[in-house]
Amino acid sequence: MKIYTKTGDRGETGLVGGSRRSKADVCMDAIGNLDELNAMLGKVLADGLPQKIEDICVTVQHHLFNIGALIATPPDRESKVELDTSLVSHLERHIDTLQQDLEPLQQFILPGGCESAAQLHLARAITRRAERSIIGMCDQGTVVSDDVLAYMNRLSDFLFVAARWVNRESGASEQPWNPNSESQD
């Protein structure tokens, strides 16, 4: 199987079932953001994470492919994948478990810390963009499962807590946001 098909050379791409869309379509924007998020998680995983977080992130990568497939399936077609309704509660349990080891937040913190935590913060920001693009699809009339929307929202929460937990495990400190910070000239 060749990797190039030449079918996208004129700015269109195919959806499940063969219909074509502009690569600038809001649906393709959402799929691209999900792909970028998945690639970012791949980067985080390649650089190494504690096993507890690694296992969850690999599972999330599979879920992101499923969400992409759901979004790429036109409403008149039946999807070959599903997003299990229990996945949101699974993420919530992971968040709750990780938070048991963390000091409660008293103020906002800046993204950063150790390399893995900083990358998890970046993945969180990409998740928020992907979520916004999926909501953009909804705003234009595309019906997207409430489970997908809830999953994306909870995933960003998980990645934030995972970044904090990884910082704690590595001994890196969190930098509190100082709204009155002066530049260091």
pLDDT (tens, 9 = 90+) of the chain, 185 residues, equals: 766 666 566 665 656 656 656 556 777 789 899 999 999 999 999 988 889 999 999 999 999 998 988 888 766 667 666 777 888 889 999 999 999 998 888 889 889 999 999 999 999 999 999 999 999 988 877 777 888 899 999 999 999 999 999 998 988 888 888 888 776 55
Question: Which residues are CB-neighbours of 29 under 8 A, at least 6 positions away?
Answer: 133, 136
pTM, to two decimals: 0.86
Residue 53 belongs to domain spanning: 21-74+82-96+111-170
Q: Is residue 14 part of a domain?
A: no
Tally the domains of the chain: 1
Q: Is residue 179 part of a domain?
A: no
List C-alpha distances in Å: 160 to 14, 49, 155: 34, 14, 9
Q: Is residue 164 part of a domain?
A: yes
Question: Which of 11, 14, 13 is closest to 77 using CA atoms?
Answer: 14
For residue 109, what are the β-bridge partners?
Answer: 176
pLDDT of residue 8: 61
CATH number of the domain bearing residue 26: 1.20.1200.10
pLDDT of residue 6: 66
Q: Is residue 180 part of a domain?
A: no
Q: Is residue 4 part of a domain?
A: no
